[in-house]
Amino acid sequence: MIGAFLMLGFANVYAMRVNLSMGLAVMVADLTVMRGGKEVQESAEFSWSTTTQGIIFSAFYFGYIITPLPGGHLARKFGGATVIGIAVGLNGVLTLFTPLAARMHVAMFMALRIAIGAAQGLVFSAGHALWSKWAPPLERSKLGTLNYAGGHLGIILIFYLSGYIAYYYGWPMIFYVSGASGILWSLMWLLMVRNSPSEQPWIKKEEVEYIELSLAGDLQSKDVLIPWKSIFTSLPVWAIIVAHFTHGWGLYTMVAELPIFYIKRFNFNLNEATIASTVPFLVTFFVVLIGGQLADYLREQSICSTGTVRKIFTALGYVFPAVFFIAASYSSNSSIVRALIALGMGLNGLSICGYYVNHLDIAPPLAGVLLGVTDTIATVAGIVSLTLTGAIVQHHSAEEWRTVFYIMDAVFLLGGIFYVLFASGEKQPWANGNEYDKLTTNESLTTE
């Protein structure tokens, strides 16, 4: 139940993150919409340049980059479930103010997106912190990937619904619906879910014992200090950092730019752009769910070691999109382009069964903190890639988009190679709780 509920929470989180992708495409384009029972041609409400649009998209990540690491600390102190519930609710409240901020001034709009990003940055590291208390070792792939699968479910729903909502009710309703949904989920989550199995009222005693026994060697006091020096001198940690940055570069670019890409590059109408932008995330959703099951099966049956599984899935998740995206950049056939992008983005989801749950392998007690570190650095990818794309794509020509895809592919290949060379599936010595049992919060944060 916790897994399914959390997946819906991450669906809400991603919906509030990417609602701007379709929303902005509608806000800056002339479109045919339904008003008063009749189709009418509606002029764009805003005339922001592509450079300004890139900065607007990037604004979210300027806020997001601040909070993943604090989110990991807060989750250790107050519990992952508590932090997730409060952060999602705050996201919902802020999202409701989007139309007002956009109409006041572009600077106010950017400031609000920064605030939304900061609120969201708390969620993902808290999600890993929650699973460090709830996920048995041999179920980490399928449970840990539910967060990401839920995110893509949210992208699917908001992309699909946004086109419908904008067509019939106007673009502001996109933000009202997604914000209200986030608030409602937050209230239900805080009422129903606790931070650990032993605190959860609606769970069998046998299940609590099974989970806690399987995690006996991984649980750690929330007051234990963090071995920062060991973390930042660990090659397996840097492998995850590089892989997360790599994935962020591709994902953030495509999430933000895909609707505009189809509308501007191929002159799709709103419905066509909605469907074309939704399909890749639908493919990703199923790839992540199936991949998580397969990854756990390979480990459980001792077919591959944990490290080998992580490397194989990450490598495949980066090689496939590199091939398909370049092929798409050389095609002028919109149907072929849609198919290639769907395959590339969908198979990129394999990497989530690799690097994304690797934090739980190498340092289970510190998984939330580690995700805070890697997510913070990966957010730099979102800022750089979106700003760079806005600067490159001035006229939405094939050559401009080809340049964007070439840069993306170079990032994929270099990131994949680094991860395969230096990643590990083994728990690291500095993550053993017993080594730090005698530390107190009065000591230096440096534990070396």
Inter-residue contact 85 to 141 (CB < 8 Å): no
Which residue, 292, 244, 5, 351, is CA-closest to 138? Answer: 292
> pLDDT grade, residue 223 (50/70/90)?
low
Contacts (Cβ under 8 Å, ≥6 apart) of 102: 27, 46, 108, 109
The whole-angstrom separation of Cα 344 and Cα 63 is 29
Q: What angle do CA 384, 389, 393 make, to 5 degrees?
A: 160
Distance of CA 28 to the CA centre of its chain: 25
Q: For residue 87, what are its two tokens?
A: 């952060």
DSSP category for residue 67: S
Q: What is the pLDDT of residues 78-104, one digit of tens each?
A: 999 999 999 999 999 999 999 999 999
How many beta carbons lie within 10 A of that of residue 68, not counting itself?
Answer: 26
Q: Tell me what pLDDT residue 218 has.
A: 57
User: At 228, which helix (H) or strand (E)?
Assistant: helix 228-232
The whole-angstrom separation of Cα 252 and Cα 58 is 9
Q: What is the mean pLDDT of the chain?
A: 87
The per-residue DSSP string of 131-144 comes to HHHH--GGGHHHHH
Separation of first and last alpha carbons in the chain: 40
Residue type, 375: D
Q: Tell me what pLDDT residue 441 has.
A: 32
**pLDDT value at 444 more than 60:** no
Q: Tell me what pLDDT residue 370 has.
A: 92
| Strands (DSSP E) found in 14-135 | 31-35, 38-42
The per-residue DSSP string of 400-421 comes to HHHHHHHHHHHHHHHHHHHHHH
Name the most confidently modeled range: 20-29, 206-215, 399-408.
399-408
Q: Tell me what pLDDT residue 436 has.
A: 36
Q: What is the pLDDT of residues 315-359, one digit of tens each?
A: 999 999 999 999 999 999 999 999 999 999 999 999 999 999 999
Partnered with residue 34 across adjacent β-strands are 39
Contacts (Cβ under 8 Å, ≥6 apart) of 68: 121, 122, 124, 125, 371, 372, 373, 375, 376, 379
The whole-angstrom separation of Cα 437 and Cα 80 is 22
How many beta carbons lie within 10 A of that of residue 36, not counting itself?
Answer: 5
Q: Tell me what pLDDT residue 36 has.
A: 75
Residue with tokens 């074309």: 276
**pLDDT value at 221 more than 80:** no
Q: What is the pLDDT of residues 241-289, one digit of tens each?
A: 999 999 999 998 888 888 888 988 898 887 788 889 889 989 999 999 9
Average pLDDT over residues 414-425: 97
Q: For residue 331, what are its two tokens?
A: 């095609």
Strands 31-35 and 38-42 turn out to be: antiparallel
The per-residue DSSP string of 166-200 comes to HHHH-THHHHHHHHHHHHHHHHHHHHH--SSGGG-
Average pLDDT over residues 156-185: 91
Q: Tell me what pLDDT residue 155 has.
A: 85
**pLDDT value at 140 more than 80:** no
The whole-angstrom separation of Cα 358 and Cα 310 is 7
Distance of CA 83 to the CA centre of its chain: 17
Residue with tokens 């072929």: 336
Among the listed ranges 108-112, 240-244, 389-393, 441-445, which one has the minimum average pLDDT value? 441-445
> pLDDT grade, residue 433 (50/70/90)?
low
Q: Tell me what pLDDT residue 445 has.
A: 35
Inter-residue contact 21 to 256 (CB < 8 Å): yes
Longest dimension (CA), the chain: 72
Q: Tell me what pLDDT residue 224 has.
A: 63
Can you tell me whether residue 36 is helix, strand or coil? coil
**pLDDT value at 186 more than 60:** yes
**pLDDT value at 116 more than 60:** yes
Average pLDDT over residues 154-158: 89
Partnered with residue 35 across adjacent β-strands are 38
The whole-angstrom separation of Cα 231 and Cα 201 is 36
**pLDDT value at 438 more than 70:** no
Inter-residue contact 29 to 169 (CB < 8 Å): no
Structural domains of the chain, with CATH: 2-31+47-199+222-436 (1.20.1250.20)
Average pLDDT over residues 173-201: 93
